[in-house]
A and B are shown apart, each in its own frame.
Chain A
Amino acid sequence: MIEILQLSKAYAGSGTQAVSNLDLTVLEGEFLVLIGPSGSGKTTTLNMVNRLVEPDGGEIRIQGQNVLESDPVMLRRNIGYVFQEAGLFPHMTVAENIGVTPRLLGRDDAWVEARVHELLVMVQLEEGAFANRLPAELSGGQRQRVALARALAARPPVILLDEPFGALDPVTREAVAADVRQIHQRLGLTTLMVTHDMTEALLMADRIAVMRDGRLIQVGTPRELAASPADDFVTQLIENPRRRAHALAEMLNA
């Protein structure tokens, strides 16, 4: 469980509040999607959870443990993180990339090798073909699968995903998104994902948190959001995919 209480952050020199007094809880085993337009503070919020960004005020607890009181390096090793456009290390092979965090935690070669194999199977990349390739030799979707495997390598209870499918083509995006959701379920993870794509959010999330201008506007299941949007902004966010779905259906049926 991730509990966020009265979280605030202002970047030096910008003058505006990136995140103000945010309260949000991601329940144990929940898949929560944080959505909002560019500059809404969603990625800043995500990055404060593993202290890639230091908050100005507020509190974050993971499984009851105060994040701001723990060692940031150990904290990050115990939280999986999937970066925008994968963020794989270009000079390391797929196997080396996946093994990075377990090795930092002192796992031996045999453990890492076995774990890499297990993860490659889990993210549907056959080991022999991929383990020794460099990231540059992979497609976008394959890279994102490797990034997911890397995030899961040290068996973290919590994973964070920052717009992980932004660079993928629609078909790949859907396949990878489905796999992420399925792995979340299977491993019983607590997942916090950031996106600006409402369709993606609606299809993947247990609950959706809508942010704008550093503030939380509304939190709820996809159905709750659709049934009773808090304001015009949320209405617009929900309407957009609905309208597109209608248009598509009409066009294809006609």
Chain B
Amino acid sequence: MNDSVREAWGLLPDYLGQHVILSVSALLLGVAVSLPLGIVAARSRRFGTPLLAAVSVVQTIPGLALLALFYPLLLALSALTQDLFGFSIRALGFLPALLALTLYAMLPILRNVVTALAGLDPAILMAAKGVGMTPRQSLFKVELPLAAPLVLAGIRTATVWVVGITTLSTPIGQTSLGNYIFTGLQIENWVFVLFGCVAAAALALTLDLLLAMAGSGLAMRSRRKLVAAGLGLLAVIAAALAPELVQPRASHQGIVIGAKNFGEQYILSQLMASRLTRAGFSVSEKSDLGSTIAFRALGAGDIDAYVDYSGTLWGNILGRTDMPGRQAMLDQLATSLKKDHGIVSLGSLGFENAYIFAMRKDRAEALHIKSLADLAAHPDLRIGGDFEIFSRPEWRAVAAAYGLGAMKRRQYQPDFLYRAVTSGDADVVSAFSSDGRIARYGLVILDDPKAALPPYDAMLLVGPAHAHDAKFIAALKPLIGSISLTLMQQANLQVDRDQDKQTPAAAAAWMDQRLPH
């Protein structure tokens, strides 16, 4: 527990700094775009009505989806600029997050600008004209100052929203306070989750409070209050940026190791990072990437290396459904990835993280069940799975190959799967082969003699930029073929277990000592 808190504090300067940069940039951009749009919209109903409708629709898109959608959008745009002008834009990280958050910031600001301007007393507008103001003078000297309190209220709403939603930019590769939440959820580190939520809420409240102070300073025409609020805002931003400025982050010029959003990936990325650091590279990590986003990011050079699984790439990237066998799949993947994406596979790390089916050891022995084929003789057995397994091709292949279509199915939240099988609620459960809890709960993995389940060999992939970097490859090469399933299971268990929980970094260090250099 204390270790988690200490680790969380250690990460705070980086996470908070990046969170503030992103939120504040999105808000400034949101204000810069919404203010002029709002002024035009307030004057022209033909423009204003559809504009507000469009911005409202954006607001109904779930935050995570909106952020994720900007990735393929920018990727397409990047390809276009590459073709037309010979440069590409970064589709991962800051830019897509900034654009999505700016869209989110727009609605409350825009709506309040329009409401405030449209609601001004016509007699006052007439007076502005009557004393000899030009339309521009009327706007800046009368209309905007009178609209300011309502506009500021809109900015405050946008601030609270944007600071909150910024946590969702983690899966598209932008570091934020969301890293605590996403990592914490995956490795069930509730201290991390809570830490991320509290930090984001505290930031949102602080900014809101300072803006409220600026608002009351404006209303009371108190210059002192306005200056205090302005200084407060600057102080928050400066404090958040200080670590970035004092210590330029390595990721800007160094190596970036990617990780998807679960414990094993965090451990492996830490392991790779420590090997590369020791070889003299400056390394940073980008974790919690979505599955296909990680692959695209590698191809685009946003990350330089990560671990993916052969069965995943086979289906998702190559779009293949045939099963050529374990080694053939690795070979064909290596050739295709190199040819189509310039990505080099250094080979399999030596273990699989595959869909498997497991039983309690005593129960399997009592029923004489060793393989999936033996299950056919026991149609009364209950099979438990996570929420997706029964709709995946893996289950269809297994059910067809071994005649298991009639088995009674139950679905559980992944954590409860192990409890279900140990307590006897389910006789057989689906699981991932490298999950440390299989050994921990005394489960046996059922053989798959007909090879119906695809192989999921962990492959170390290197992006185009370092495909021929001998020093880079030499630093990672010793990992190839040297991580046994047992070692990976033990490391995963250190992170996943409820008691004496380790951080991914600690588990990676533990593994590192047991691996060749």
Contacts and interface: CB of A to CB of B under 8 A. Distances in A.
Contacts of A75: 132
A230 to B, nearest CB: 32
Contacts of A61: none
Nearest to B132: A77
Interface in A143-185: 150
B125 to A, nearest CB: 10
A130 interface: no
A78 B128 CA distance: 14
Contact of B130 (A83, A85, A90): A83
Contacts of A90: 124, 146
Interface string A76-94: 1110010111011111000
Contact of A101 (B123, B126, B132, B142): B132
B129 A87 contact: no
Q: Which of A50, A75, A77, A91 has the most CB of B within 10 A?
A: A91
Contacts of B137: 104
Interface in A4-19: none
A90 B130 CA distance: 16
Interface in B225-262: none
A217 B142 CA distance: 39
Contact of B126 (A73, A87, A104, A105): A87
Q: In terms of DSSP, what is the predominant structure of the interface of chain B?
A: helix
A74 interface: yes
Given A84-B123, A104-B137, A89 B128 contact: yes
B145 interface: yes
A89 B137 CA distance: 13
B137 to A, nearest CB: 7
A85 B129 contact: no
A52 interface: yes
A45 B124 CA distance: 20
Given A89-B142, A90-B146, A91-B146, A73 B132 contact: yes
A152 to B, nearest CB: 12
A78 B124 CA distance: 19
Nearest to B129: A52
Interface in A47-81: 50, 52, 73-78, 81
A85 B123 CA distance: 9
B127 interface: yes
Contact of A83 (B127, B133, B134, B145): B127
A100 interface: yes
A30 B137 CA distance: 33
B145 A91 contact: yes
B131 interface: yes
A104 B131 contact: yes
B418 to A, nearest CB: 66
B511 to A, nearest CB: 66
Contacts of B128: 89
B124 A77 contact: no
A67 B296 CA distance: 69
A89 B130 CA distance: 12
Contacts of A73: 132-134
A74 B132 contact: yes
A162 B112 CA distance: 33
Given A87-B124, A90-B124, A90-B146, A81 B134 contact: no
20 contacts: A52-B130, A73-B132, A73-B134, A74-B132, A83-B123, A83-B127, A83-B130, A85-B123, A87-B127, A87-B130, A88-B127, A89-B127, A100-B131, A100-B133, A100-B141, A101-B132, A104-B131, A104-B132, A104-B137, A105-B132
Q: Which 5 A-B pairs have the closest CB atoms?
A: A77-B132, A87-B127, A76-B132, A81-B130, A91-B145
